[in-house]
Amino acid sequence: MHAQFEKTLARLNTPPKIQDYLDSMQYNKGETAYSAFKAFSLKKAHCLEGALIAAAALEKHGFPPLLVDLIAVRDEDHIIVPFQLYGKWGSIAKSNFSGLRYREPVFSSIRELVLSYFDHYYNFKKRKTLRYYSEPLDLNKTGLDWKYSEKPLHKISDLLAEQPRFKTISAKTEKVLRKADERIFKAGLVGRLK
Protein backbone atom coordinates (compact mmCIF):
# COMPACT_ATOMS: atom_id res chain seq x y z
CA MET A 1 0.00 0.00 0.00
CA HIS A 2 2.93 2.37 0.68
CA ALA A 3 4.03 1.82 -2.92
CA GLN A 4 0.61 2.93 -4.18
CA PHE A 5 0.78 6.01 -1.96
CA GLU A 6 4.24 6.93 -3.29
CA LYS A 7 3.07 6.35 -6.86
CA THR A 8 0.11 8.69 -6.28
CA LEU A 9 2.38 11.36 -4.78
CA ALA A 10 4.69 11.08 -7.79
CA ARG A 11 1.72 11.61 -10.11
CA LEU A 12 0.57 14.69 -8.17
CA ASN A 13 3.45 16.76 -9.54
CA THR A 14 1.81 20.21 -9.65
CA PRO A 15 -0.18 22.18 -7.07
CA PRO A 16 -3.36 22.11 -9.25
CA LYS A 17 -3.15 18.30 -9.52
CA ILE A 18 -2.78 18.05 -5.76
CA GLN A 19 -5.82 20.27 -5.23
CA ASP A 20 -7.88 18.27 -7.74
CA TYR A 21 -6.95 15.09 -5.89
CA LEU A 22 -7.99 16.55 -2.52
CA ASP A 23 -11.25 17.80 -4.04
CA SER A 24 -12.01 14.26 -5.26
CA MET A 25 -11.66 12.82 -1.75
CA GLN A 26 -14.59 12.43 0.61
CA TYR A 27 -14.63 15.01 3.40
CA ASN A 28 -13.89 13.44 6.79
CA LYS A 29 -16.25 14.88 9.39
CA GLY A 30 -14.60 12.97 12.23
CA GLU A 31 -12.40 14.35 15.01
CA THR A 32 -9.43 12.39 13.70
CA ALA A 33 -5.83 13.39 13.04
CA TYR A 34 -4.63 10.81 10.53
CA SER A 35 -1.24 10.82 8.84
CA ALA A 36 -1.03 11.53 5.12
CA PHE A 37 -0.79 7.81 4.35
CA LYS A 38 -3.68 6.77 6.60
CA ALA A 39 -5.99 9.46 5.16
CA PHE A 40 -4.93 8.36 1.66
CA SER A 41 -5.71 4.73 2.57
CA LEU A 42 -9.16 5.62 3.91
CA LYS A 43 -9.84 7.90 0.90
CA LYS A 44 -11.18 10.68 3.10
CA ALA A 45 -9.70 13.73 4.80
CA HIS A 46 -10.56 16.94 6.62
CA CYS A 47 -8.42 20.08 6.43
CA LEU A 48 -5.51 18.83 8.58
CA GLU A 49 -5.39 15.42 6.90
CA GLY A 50 -5.75 16.95 3.44
CA ALA A 51 -2.96 19.38 4.33
CA LEU A 52 -0.68 16.46 5.24
CA ILE A 53 -1.38 14.76 1.90
CA ALA A 54 -0.72 18.02 0.04
CA ALA A 55 2.49 18.62 2.01
CA ALA A 56 3.68 15.08 1.23
CA ALA A 57 3.01 15.57 -2.49
CA LEU A 58 4.70 18.97 -2.55
CA GLU A 59 7.72 17.61 -0.68
CA LYS A 60 8.00 14.75 -3.18
CA HIS A 61 8.49 17.40 -5.87
CA GLY A 62 11.00 19.58 -4.05
CA PHE A 63 8.80 22.01 -2.09
CA PRO A 64 9.11 22.43 1.68
CA PRO A 65 6.15 20.82 3.53
CA LEU A 66 4.64 23.89 5.22
CA LEU A 67 1.38 24.39 7.11
CA VAL A 68 -0.27 27.68 8.07
CA ASP A 69 -3.09 27.78 10.60
CA LEU A 70 -5.88 30.26 9.86
CA ILE A 71 -7.28 31.17 13.26
CA ALA A 72 -10.88 32.26 13.68
CA VAL A 73 -13.18 33.62 16.39
CA ARG A 74 -16.56 31.97 16.92
CA ASP A 75 -15.64 29.52 14.16
CA GLU A 76 -13.27 26.64 13.40
CA ASP A 77 -9.63 27.13 12.45
CA HIS A 78 -8.49 26.07 8.98
CA ILE A 79 -5.14 24.79 7.72
CA ILE A 80 -3.63 25.70 4.37
CA VAL A 81 -0.47 24.46 2.64
CA PRO A 82 1.42 27.40 1.15
CA PHE A 83 3.78 26.90 -1.77
CA GLN A 84 5.95 29.30 -3.73
CA LEU A 85 6.35 29.39 -7.52
CA TYR A 86 8.35 32.03 -9.40
CA GLY A 87 8.61 34.11 -6.24
CA LYS A 88 4.85 34.20 -5.57
CA TRP A 89 2.77 32.37 -2.96
CA GLY A 90 -0.26 30.16 -3.51
CA SER A 91 -1.93 27.50 -1.36
CA ILE A 92 -3.66 24.14 -1.35
CA ALA A 93 -6.40 23.26 1.13
CA LYS A 94 -9.07 20.66 1.82
CA SER A 95 -12.31 22.23 2.99
CA ASN A 96 -16.01 21.55 3.18
CA PHE A 97 -16.48 25.19 2.04
CA SER A 98 -15.73 26.03 -1.58
CA GLY A 99 -14.14 29.43 -0.89
CA LEU A 100 -11.50 28.05 1.49
CA ARG A 101 -9.61 25.84 -0.94
CA TYR A 102 -6.97 26.59 -3.60
CA ARG A 103 -5.24 29.91 -4.24
CA GLU A 104 -3.19 30.59 -7.35
CA PRO A 105 0.49 31.52 -6.80
CA VAL A 106 0.02 35.25 -7.35
CA PHE A 107 0.56 36.64 -3.83
CA SER A 108 3.71 38.49 -2.77
CA SER A 109 3.66 37.33 0.84
CA ILE A 110 2.07 34.81 3.19
CA ARG A 111 0.04 37.70 4.65
CA GLU A 112 -1.40 38.60 1.24
CA LEU A 113 -2.20 34.94 0.67
CA VAL A 114 -3.98 34.62 4.02
CA LEU A 115 -5.99 37.81 3.47
CA SER A 116 -7.33 36.35 0.21
CA TYR A 117 -9.34 33.97 2.42
CA PHE A 118 -10.84 36.77 4.54
CA ASP A 119 -14.14 37.41 2.71
CA HIS A 120 -14.77 33.67 2.32
CA TYR A 121 -14.10 32.85 5.96
CA TYR A 122 -17.43 33.22 7.76
CA ASN A 123 -19.62 31.31 10.18
CA PHE A 124 -23.26 30.32 9.80
CA LYS A 125 -24.33 33.70 11.17
CA LYS A 126 -22.50 35.18 8.14
CA ARG A 127 -19.95 36.90 10.35
CA LYS A 128 -16.42 37.12 8.94
CA THR A 129 -14.29 35.32 11.50
CA LEU A 130 -10.63 35.14 10.37
CA ARG A 131 -8.53 37.04 12.93
CA TYR A 132 -5.02 35.55 13.00
CA TYR A 133 -2.70 33.28 11.09
CA SER A 134 0.35 31.33 12.18
CA GLU A 135 3.90 31.53 10.99
CA PRO A 136 4.44 28.58 8.59
CA LEU A 137 5.28 25.31 10.33
CA ASP A 138 7.82 23.13 8.49
CA LEU A 139 6.61 19.58 9.06
CA ASN A 140 10.11 18.18 8.61
CA LYS A 141 11.23 20.12 11.70
CA THR A 142 8.52 18.66 13.97
CA GLY A 143 10.18 15.30 14.67
CA LEU A 144 6.85 13.64 13.86
CA ASP A 145 6.20 10.86 11.36
CA TRP A 146 3.50 12.97 9.70
CA LYS A 147 3.54 10.94 6.49
CA TYR A 148 3.17 7.36 7.73
CA SER A 149 2.25 7.35 11.43
CA GLU A 150 -0.43 4.93 12.57
CA LYS A 151 -0.94 7.00 15.72
CA PRO A 152 -3.14 10.14 15.80
CA LEU A 153 -1.25 13.35 15.02
CA HIS A 154 -3.04 15.82 17.31
CA LYS A 155 0.43 17.11 18.22
CA ILE A 156 0.53 18.96 14.89
CA SER A 157 -2.40 21.11 16.01
CA ASP A 158 -0.53 21.80 19.26
CA LEU A 159 2.62 22.78 17.35
CA LEU A 160 0.61 25.11 15.10
CA ALA A 161 -0.91 26.71 18.19
CA GLU A 162 2.63 27.36 19.51
CA GLN A 163 3.75 29.11 16.31
CA PRO A 164 3.99 32.90 16.36
CA ARG A 165 0.72 34.39 15.16
CA PHE A 166 -0.16 37.54 13.31
CA LYS A 167 -3.35 39.63 13.26
CA THR A 168 -5.35 39.89 10.06
CA ILE A 169 -7.25 43.05 11.08
CA SER A 170 -7.28 45.68 13.82
CA ALA A 171 -9.89 45.93 16.57
CA LYS A 172 -11.21 49.11 14.90
CA THR A 173 -11.68 47.33 11.57
CA GLU A 174 -13.43 44.44 13.30
CA LYS A 175 -16.15 46.83 14.50
CA VAL A 176 -17.06 47.91 10.97
CA LEU A 177 -17.07 44.53 9.19
CA ARG A 178 -20.19 43.78 7.24
CA LYS A 179 -21.68 40.31 7.13
CA ALA A 180 -20.92 37.97 4.26
CA ASP A 181 -22.90 38.77 1.16
CA GLU A 182 -25.78 36.31 0.68
CA ARG A 183 -24.41 35.19 -2.71
CA ILE A 184 -20.92 34.53 -1.33
CA PHE A 185 -22.46 32.73 1.64
CA LYS A 186 -24.48 30.41 -0.61
CA ALA A 187 -21.57 29.89 -3.01
CA GLY A 188 -19.38 28.79 -0.13
CA LEU A 189 -21.83 26.03 0.74
CA VAL A 190 -21.91 24.50 -2.75
CA GLY A 191 -21.02 20.81 -2.48
CA ARG A 192 -20.81 20.94 1.33
CA LEU A 193 -21.44 17.71 3.24
CA LYS A 194 -24.02 18.11 5.98
- Quick check: 105 and 87 in contact, CB under 8 A? no
Q: What is the mean pLDDT of the chain?
A: 96
All residues at 6 or more sequence positions from 178 whose CB lies less than 8 Å from its CB, including other chains: none
Look up the pTM and report it.
0.96
Three-state DSSP at 131 gives strand
Q: Is the pLDDT of residue 70 over 70?
A: yes
- The C-alpha atoms of residue 82 and residue 59 are separated, in whole angstroms, by 12
Per-residue pLDDT tens over the stretch 129-141: 999 999 999 999 9
Domain boundaries, the chain: 2-188
Per-residue pLDDT, averaged over 75-79, amounts to 96
- Quick check: 99 and 120 in contact, CB under 8 A? yes
Three-state DSSP at 69 gives strand
- The C-alpha atoms of residue 193 and residue 106 are separated, in whole angstroms, by 30
DSSP string, 18-61: HHHHHHHSEE--SS----HHHHHHHTEE-HHHHHHHHHHHHHHT
Q: Residue 110's pLDDT band (boundaries 50, 70, 90)?
A: very high
